[in-house]
């Protein structure tokens, strides 16, 4: 069966989505999970874009063994050199160079003639090929490019040493028939196309990224690029989990295979959602929480008689299994650590112990601990800040009455190790808490966005708060959970502040923002 390579760009194009900002520990955690999921290539970042991206790409390149690791670079020597420094320790160093080829991008953005663009692309690919065994070249905005010009430039970059040619629909403008036809045209007209991998990269601006990607596969694409949960610039990239399941469920039509382990889909999706703070819409295909929920009587009747009446995908296929042993306040360490292992976590004894302490506190307040609750507890331990001094909330209290101004009092351990208590008022309880926390951290903090949702089901469900802050001009997301909405909100705010501290922490103790 023909094999399709999966190029995951959650950590690069996915992180380009507005409001997402992952720190290195979080990126490493996602990369680890992507490797386990079986993606062929992990695009870990854009090394020349910032020291943080460089660091994350370098660490991921040195760590990952079973997937190829790549980084993005502009068609210029300085970006390529920086990428080489980040990626040289990888098992099989791979570079992804891009340069726009559409008339509008060449004239108005790059301000170059088509001839100059060909020369720049060829020079960059030649230079990169001396360092990297694998060089992917992307024609940014390929879909809106002149087809004959595309053939000309691709012919030349293949001769210059490119091993993969990517043909992105950068602005999500293509229809499936048009995108498929472009792949067929390139297959028929590019010299030496059979010697390189041909790759598809679709954006979802018109909601057609999945259909377009499938059309590319039908017309000869060897590799597809996408992200987990469809994150990405603007309306996002194609969601890899959708492509994976389409190719599996309709293998009768497409007849291709990937190396993806489908039963890692749910876990990968949950992890990305939790760490990016981007909540998955309930009706999202494959990974939405309603994707397997049958609500109406006639459907439930059909399901009871034969699941196949309404179920084309089983939850088990994507690793969304029914909960085994119930965990609650009477459970012990054995059942707890056993569940951590079943859920795919590899925690040290110390971290497991801390997770167990948190679990017991939660179990005291909550009747039933769900899979989602456990996922959050375990992930929190896995990505916990190591040596960085951080803020730790010890108490939050709000005085609220419809006739008086809400006042919040917050006690916390601050990065210097002292215990501090502050209070402030606000026009509502949450605002009072945020004003108090602003006094506590003494920085220039603005709230850009704030959302609360329920993680699990029932009256005692966990509340998850996501706060987007601007701290000293830098956007950063924080999230946390608690049984109480106000506590979750306070913890989410401090989580963002702590993530900012971690980003700033380069060996020296940073004790304030």
Ligand X SMILES: CC(C)C(=O)C(=O)O
Ligand Y SMILES: CC(=O)SCCNC(=O)CCNC(=O)[C@H](O)C(C)(C)COP(=O)(O)OP(=O)(O)OC[C@H]1O[C@@H](n2cnc3c(N)ncnc32)[C@H](O)[C@@H]1OP(=O)(O)O
Q: Which is nearer to ligand X, 13 or 26 (CB)?
A: 13
Interaction pattern, residues 1-40, with ligand Y; x per rule: CB under 6 A: ------------x--x------------------------
Query: Which distant-in-sequence residues (6+ apart) come within 8 Å of 498 by Cβ?
Result: 385, 388, 390, 391, 478
Give exposure, 158-176, as e/b (b: 16+ Cβ within 10 Å): bebbbbbbbbbbbbbbbeb
Q: Does 399 bind ligand Y (CB under 6 A)?
A: no
Residue 446's DSSP bridge partners are 470
Distance of CA 96 to the CA centre of its chain: 19
Do the beta carbons of residue 121 and residue 154 sit within 8 Å? no
- Binding partner of residue 109 among ligand Y, ligand X, Mg ion, none, CB under 5 to 8 Å per kind? ligand Y
Residues that contact ligand Y, how many (by CB under 6 A): 15
Counting Cα atoms < 13 Å in the Cβ hemisphere of 378 gives 24
From 77, 88, 108, 109, residue interacting with ligand Y (rule: CB under 6 A): 109
Minimal distance, residue 72 CB to ligand Y, in Å? 6
How many whole angstroms separate alpha carbon 137 and alpha carbon 131? 15
Minimal distance, residue 75 CB to ligand Y, in Å? 4
Do the beta carbons of residue 343 and residue 267 sit within 8 Å? yes
- Binding partner of residue 108 among ligand X, Mg ion, ligand Y, none, CB under 5 to 8 Å per kind? none
Q: Does 5 bind ligand X (CB under 6 A)?
A: no
Q: Does 159 bind ligand Y (CB under 6 A)?
A: no
Q: What is the DSSP string of 235-275?
A: T-B-BHHHHHHHHHHTHHHH-EE-S--GGGHHHHHHHHHHH
From 98, 132, 143, 183, residue interacting with ligand X (rule: CB under 6 A): 98
Q: Does 410 bind ligand Y (CB under 6 A)?
A: no
How many whole angstroms separate alpha carbon 434 and alpha carbon 126? 53
From 63, 110, 256, 420, residue interacting with ligand Y (rule: CB under 6 A): 110
Interaction pattern, residues 219-238, with ligand Y; x per rule: CB under 6 A: --------------x-----
How many whole angstroms separate alpha carbon 436 and alpha carbon 412? 11
Residue 125, Cβ density class (10 Å: 0-12 exposed, 13-18 middle, ≥19 buried): buried
Minimal distance, residue 173 CB to ligand X, in Å? 11
Nearest residue to 72 via CA among 294, 233, 253, 254: 233
Q: Does 105 bind ligand X (CB under 6 A)?
A: no
Q: Does 49 bind ligand Y (CB under 6 A)?
A: yes
- Binding partner of residue 46 among Mg ion, ligand Y, ligand X, none, CB under 5 to 8 Å per kind? ligand Y
Q: What is the DSSP string of 124-141?
A: HHHHHHHH-SEEEEEEET
Interaction pattern, residues 331-370, with ligand X; x per rule: CB under 6 A: ----------------------------------------
Residues 186-215 that bind ligand X (CB under 6 A): 201, 203
Encoded tokens for 149? 């010009």
Interaction pattern, residues 72-91, with ligand X; x per rule: CB under 6 A: x-------------------
Helix (H, G, I), strand (E, B) or coil at 328: coil
Is 108 among the annotated ligand-binding positions? no
How many whole angstroms separate alpha carbon 342 and alpha carbon 188? 48
Residues 62-91 that bind ligand Y (CB under 6 A): 74-76
- Binding partner of residue 138 among Mg ion, ligand Y, ligand X, none, CB under 5 to 8 Å per kind? ligand X
- Binding partner of residue 240 among ligand Y, Mg ion, ligand X, none, CB under 5 to 8 Å per kind? none
Q: Does 170 bind ligand Y (CB under 6 A)?
A: yes
Is 237 among the annotated ligand-binding positions? yes
Long-range contacts formed by 283-289: CB under 8 A, 24+ apart: 284/229, 284/230, 284/239, 285/210, 285/239, 285/242, 285/245, 286/239, 286/241, 286/242, 286/245, 286/313, 286/318, 287/229, 287/239, 287/241, 287/318
Q: Does 138 bind ligand X (CB under 6 A)?
A: yes
Q: Which is nearer to ligand X, 173 or 185 (CB)?
A: 173
Nearest residue to 480 via CA among 452, 443, 510: 452
Nearest residue to 214 via CA among 134, 309, 285, 139: 285
How many whole angstroms separate alpha carbon 125 and alpha carbon 347? 42
How many whole angstroms separate alpha carbon 368 and alpha carbon 432? 31
- Binding partner of residue 75 among ligand Y, ligand X, Mg ion, none, CB under 5 to 8 Å per kind? ligand Y
Is 94 among the annotated ligand-binding positions? no
From 71, 161, 168, 236, residue interacting with ligand X (rule: CB under 6 A): 168
Of 149-157, 162-170, 264-272, 337-345, the window that binds ligand X (rule: CB under 6 A) is 162-170
Q: Does 230 bind ligand X (CB under 6 A)?
A: no
How many residues would you count in the chain? Answer: 513
Is 508 among the annotated ligand-binding positions? no
Distance of CA 267 to the CA centre of its chain: 12
Of 166-174, 402-410, 469-477, 494-502, the window that binds ligand X (rule: CB under 6 A) is 166-174
Q: Does 143 bind ligand X (CB under 6 A)?
A: no
Name the site residues for ligand Y (rule: CB under 6 A): 13, 16, 46, 49-50, 74-76, 98-99, 109-110, 140, 170, 233
**Which segments are annotated as binding site for Mn(2+)?**
13, 201, 203, 237
């Amino acid at each position: 069966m023909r094999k399709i390579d999966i190029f995951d760009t959650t950590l690069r194009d996915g992180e380009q989505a507005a409001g997402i900002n992952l720190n290195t520990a979080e990126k490493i955690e996602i990369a680890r999970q992507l490797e386990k999921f079986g993606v062929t290539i992990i695009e870990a970042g854009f090394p020349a874009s910032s020291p943080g991206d460089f660091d994350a790409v370098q660490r991921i390149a040195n760590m990952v063994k079973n997937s190829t690791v790549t980084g993005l670079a502009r068609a210029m020597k300085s970006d390529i050199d920086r990428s080489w420094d980040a990626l040289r320790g990888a098992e099989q160093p791979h570079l992804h160079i891009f340069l726009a080829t559409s008339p509008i991008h060449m004239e108005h953005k790059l301000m170059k003639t088509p001839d100059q663009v060909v020369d720049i692309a060829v020079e960059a690919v030649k230079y990169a090929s001396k360092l990297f065994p694998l060089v992917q070249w992307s024609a940014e905005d390929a879909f809106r490019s002149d087809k004959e010009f595309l053939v000309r430039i691709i012919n030349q970059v293949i001769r210059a040493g490119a091993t993969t040619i990517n043909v992105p629909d950068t602005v999500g403008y293509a229809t499936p028939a048009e995108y498929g036809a472009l792949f067929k045209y390139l297959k028929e007209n590019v010299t030496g196309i059979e010697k390189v991998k041909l790759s598809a990269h679709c954006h979802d601006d018109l909601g057609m990224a999945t259909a377009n990607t499938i059309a590319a596969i039908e017309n000869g694409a060897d590799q597809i690029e996408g992200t987990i949960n469809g994150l990405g610039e603007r309306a996002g990239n194609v969601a890899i989990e959708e492509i994976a399941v389409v190719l599996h469920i309709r293998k009768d039509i497409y007849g291709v295979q990937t190396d993806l382990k489908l039963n890692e889909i749910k876990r990968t999706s949950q992890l990305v959602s939790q760490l990016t703070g981007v909540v998955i819409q309930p009706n999202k295909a494959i990974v939405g929480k309603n994707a397997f929920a049958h609500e109406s009587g006639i459907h439930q009747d059909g399901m009871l008689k034969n699941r196949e009446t309404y179920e084309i995908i089983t939850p088990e296929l994507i690793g969304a299994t029914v909960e085994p042993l119930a965990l609650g306040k009477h459970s012990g360490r054995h059942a707890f650590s056993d569940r951590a292992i079943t859920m795919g976590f590899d925690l040290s004894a110390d971290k497991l112990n801390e997770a167990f302490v948190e679990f017991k506190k939660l179990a005291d307040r909550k009747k039933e601990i769900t899979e989602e609750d456990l996922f959050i507890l375990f992930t929190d331990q896995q990505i916990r800040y190591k040596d960085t001094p951080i803020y730790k909330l010890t108490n939050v209290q709000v005085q609220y009455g419809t006739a008086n101004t809400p006042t919040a009092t917050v006690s916390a351990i601050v990065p210097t190790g002292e215990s501090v208590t502050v209070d402030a008022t606000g026009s509502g309880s949450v605002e009072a808490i945020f004003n108090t926390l602003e006094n506590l951290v003494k920085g220039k903090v603005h709230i850009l966005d704030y959302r609360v949702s329920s993680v699990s089901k029932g009256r005692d469900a966990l509340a998850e708060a996501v706060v987007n802050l601007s701290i000293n001009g830098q956007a950063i997301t924080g999230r946390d959970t608690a049984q109480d909405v106000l506590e979750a909100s306070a913890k989410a705010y401090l989580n963002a502040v702590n993530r900012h501290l971690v980003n700033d922490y380069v060996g020296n103790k940073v004790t304030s923002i």
